Amino acid sequence: METLEAIRKRRSIRKYKPDPIPRQDLETIVDAGRLAATGSNRQPWDFIVVQDRATIAQFKSAGAWIESAPAVIAVVLDSSSRWWVEDGAAAIENMLLACTALGYGSCWVEGDALPREEEFKRLLGVPAGKRLMALVPVGIPDESPTREKKSLEQVIHWERY
Ligand SMILES: Cc1cc2nc3c(=O)[nH]c(=O)nc-3n(C[C@H](O)[C@H](O)[C@H](O)COP(=O)(O)O)c2cc1C
């Protein structure tokens, strides 16, 4: 899929078919995260690919719907890097777009995961000094949501605000 088409088509998907995701596709998705822009080229990230049903069930506390995902990618950042939040966000968006390009649905789960960060870090064996920024459930979409977006005219400014 062409890049701009993936950007236009991407939507947060919160219902998935149970079909497992081939390892090659999961590697392609994480590879897209790995290649994101990153301040001073620090690349302060690690990605944990979870397919174990019992582990994914534990993510229910961040949203019952997450349990329907055949895979969840946990995004881990080294917060000693000055740009860790921006870097993590860039990596996550790259992965969401890669999911769309490959025909998968995904969702950036941060707001509902952060309050459980310590619990999820323990579950996944994340070192104490690192941050678990977000979970990215991935699967074949089982819904086709539409989302109201501001129009280009509402947000674009030429030369001055
Ligand atoms: C920083 C951030 C945190 C988010 N956290 C959650 C979350 O915890 N749970 C969730 O279901 N969606 C979460 N989302 C997804 C947003 O709700 C979603 O992107 C927004 O409603 C726009 O819909 P769209 O992604 O389909 O365009 C998050 C998105 C971002 C960028």
The alpha carbon of residue 28 and the mean position of all alpha carbons in its chain are separated, in whole angstroms, by 13
Instruction: Give tens-digit pLDDT for 94-146.
Output: 999 999 999 999 999 999 999 999 999 999 999 999 999 999 999 999 999 99
Q: What is the rounded CA–CA span in Å between residue 4 and residue 22?
A: 25
Report the sign of the C-alpha dihedral through residues 137, 140, 141, 142, in that order: negative
Domain 3-155: which topology?
Answer: NADH Oxidase (3.40.109)
Q: What is the rounded CA–CA span in Å between residue 24 and residue 158?
A: 43
* Closest C-alpha residue for ligand 1 atom 9: 109
What mean pLDDT value characterizes the chain?
A: 97
Domain ranges of the chain: 3-155
pLDDT greater than 80 at residue 1: no
* Closest C-alpha residue for ligand 1 atom 18: 12
Q: Is the CB of 12 under 6 A from ligand 1?
A: yes
